[in-house]
A and B are shown apart, each in its own frame.
Chain A
Amino acid sequence: MKELKILYLYPDILELYGDFGNIQVLRYRLEKRGFKAIIEPYSIGNPPPNFKDYDLVFAGGGADQEQGILAEDLIQYKQSIKEAVNDGVFFLLICGAYQLFGKYYKGVEGNIIPGLEVFDYYTEAIDDRKKRCIGNIVIETELNGKKTKVIGFENHGGQTFNISSPFGSVLMGNGNKFGDNHEGFFLPNVIATYLHGPLLAKNPELTDYIIKYCLDRKYNEDIILEPLDDAFENKCREQLLLLYNC
């Protein structure tokens, strides 16, 4: 039986915005097709994970205070994370995790929280603590040459700059900063984004893109994924895209 090994970073801390749903959707779409999903959690106090051993690494968004505690922990793996990214392991990073993988996060008081420096982007807090990019968001991205709309919910104060290759163009909502045209950061094996929702819940094409990438890489093939019953997802997309005029 073919399988994917997923590393789930800090499931007990980066779990504020329902991002755990992404793991559930991945598992669901793998198991429905007869693949095995091995999901291994890592959190503070656990033995160090070997990032290269995994097909997919996932991390979500958390509360500000708790996020600070884990940043100190994660930074010790900086080098092996970089190697895993260069090796082609897929990284799915949401919100706080997206920010952590950049150069730094600059707080309201000008304090710098160093990031993992895996990517060149950086994030700055907005002066007014109460101002945040909050709301439903729709972006358009291109997956294996095919354009698709991605629906989610953004809720972030941080404004992310210096993005070389965005995840998508914004059709509705803010994106990387207030009123931006672009959202997230994208490489063939990296999706870093502000989209909660959770991201994969209403975007089966995107989920299947990630699954296909991981299976193709692991088993060195060009797999055609068996279609699933996506009636609810399709109706949901239809309803919301119409409502949002996208």
Chain B
Amino acid sequence: MKNFFILLAMKVLHIGLKIAGKNGGNFLGKIAYDWNPNIFKYFKINCPIIAVTATNGKTMTNNAIGYIFKTAGKKVISNTEGNNMETGILSTLLKHCSLTGKIKADYLVFEVDEGYVPVIFKDLKLDTLVILDFFRDQLDRNGEVESLILRINDFLKTYTGNLILNNDDPNVARLGQANPENHNIYYFSVEKYSHATTDMKEAGEGKFCPFCNTRIEYEYYQYSHIGKFKCPNCNYGDNEVYKMAKNIDLKNRTFTVDDVTYKIRFNSIYNIYNFTAVISCVSLYSIDTDIIQKALSTFILNNGRLEEIQVKNIPTIINLAKNPTGSNVSLRILNEDDDEKELLFVLNDNIADGRDVSWIWDINFDTLNNVSRIITSGTRAYDIAIRIKTAGFPVEKIEPYLDLHEAVEHFYQTNVKKYVIANYTSLQPTRNEILKLK
């Protein structure tokens, strides 16, 4: 009786919020979770639940999976706005359930914060879990990556659903051994691309084998610590690959999987990994390749994740970068583009960003290709300016402005192509300042 009562109360509250014209965000979930943390048990769900977790790429991958199912005519419920903690997912479920907790959909697709997987799926039966990557991220808030991986590993010890793992991330592939009884493990990988290197170019983890502590050997690095690796002692990393992306052509934005060519709207190696995970996932649900092709060719995100826009007729690329790898991925795209360009880097140190900004020293600013000016802004505009100066970029070409409005105004005084990198809390304010000029 009690569970029915909670759901009912939440539905009434939801309707109330709707009448008041409020979206509610995580609010509904927060109240319900505080009331009864076991509330996840009370939903009646008869369709597959799919979850995506990672340090970087959750939103992109989650939304692409949902988009493909929708293109196939399926009913999908998903947290596309990125509310990815227990309260966010709970809010999404509460909004879509009936008064008795029934959820009618073909698929539930969720991006889940990497720290919350064990919490949320304790009581919700997960059909497929996709894990993309684990990078250092806001160490002062999240702690070291290793403890996070161990928590997920613990969760996976009793998990028997589909597990889709990035075979090129030693932090992720190791999770395939968490439960030897689980035979539903699917590894994905991406063939060496033209800018892969034999040395690690950007800060990364996973230097030692998690099983025998031997130093891991790499044939090549694609970016950060993502690449073809193997433990020379125990062969860790040598897995049978389920889906492999080949013929990576970032200029033309195409790649192939199982000899099928996919055209996408993004041009980074990082996206190829995300989409290979997406293809691995939806293929488990027998979605036709022509539908996947069609969906991926039109899939974009208009929220500052590798968003391409024109401002005063100047091509502008905006990307969120809340950790070193995110920034390094943005700079890879910038450096793989030979056109002259200017960069705006906005760095805040609010609580949600992590107060510690030392991670900017893990960004590789060493060889910027054809960058004629860099503007910095945000609460730590000077920190990032010092970082870029120390990397050898001419100091006279760096302009720090604490005030974001001023920064964006100066940025658009020239008509050179623009790249924008902004961290978590600075992304939307930066995007808004830029869109004002549009």
Contacts and interface: CB of A to CB of B under 8 A. Distances in A.
Q: Do A and B bind each other?
A: yes
B204 to A, nearest CB: 10
Interface string A190-212: 00000011100110000000000
A24 B361 contact: yes
Interface stretch (B110-118, B304-312, B378-386): B378-386
Nearest to A230: B386
A222 B146 CA distance: 47
B382 A239 contact: yes
Nearest 4 interchain pairs by C-beta: A236-B382, A18-B361, A21-B361, A18-B358
B326 interface: no
Contacts of A15: 203, 362
B416 interface: no
B402 interface: yes
Contacts of A198: 358, 361
B358 A197 contact: yes
A229 B395 contact: yes
Interface in A12-37: 12-13, 15-21, 24-25, 28
Contacts of B140: 134-135, 153, 155
A66 B382 contact: no
A48 B68 CA distance: 56
A135 B203 contact: no
A21 B390 contact: yes
Interface residues of A, number: 35
A219 interface: no
Interface of A: 12-13, 15-21, 24-25, 28, 44-45, 63-66, 69, 134-136, 153, 155, 196-198, 201-202, 229, 232-233, 235-236, 239
10 contacts: A18-B360, A20-B361, A28-B390, A44-B215, A63-B205, A69-B213, A134-B140, A136-B355, A202-B386, A232-B389
Contacts of A196: 356, 358
B383 A202 contact: yes
Given A18-B362, A134-B140, A153-B356, A45 B383 contact: no
A135 B355 contact: yes
Nearest to A20: B361
Given A18-B362, A21-B361, A44-B215, A236 B386 contact: yes
Contacts of A63: 144-146, 205
Contacts of B136: 16
Given A15-B203, A17-B139, A63-B144, 13 more contacts: A21-B358, A25-B390, A63-B146, A63-B205, A66-B208, A155-B140, A155-B356, A197-B358, A201-B383, A229-B395, A232-B389, A232-B395, A233-B386
B395 A201 contact: no
B176 interface: no
Nearest to B359: A18
* Best-buried of A24, A197, A229, A232 by chain B (most CB within 10 Å): A232
A13 B204 CA distance: 10
B382 to A, nearest CB: 3
Contact of B390 (A64, A69, A197, A201): A201
B66 interface: no
Given A69-B213, A202-B383, A232-B400, A24 B391 contact: yes
B361 to A, nearest CB: 3
Contacts of B385: 232, 236
Contacts of B144: 16, 63-64
A153 B349 CA distance: 12
A44 B215 CA distance: 9
A163 B88 CA distance: 47
A150 to B, nearest CB: 14
Interface string B389-432: 11110010010101000000000000000000000000000000
Contacts of A155: 139-140, 356
Interface string B111-128: 000000000000000000
B207 interface: yes
B221 to A, nearest CB: 13
A18 B383 CA distance: 13
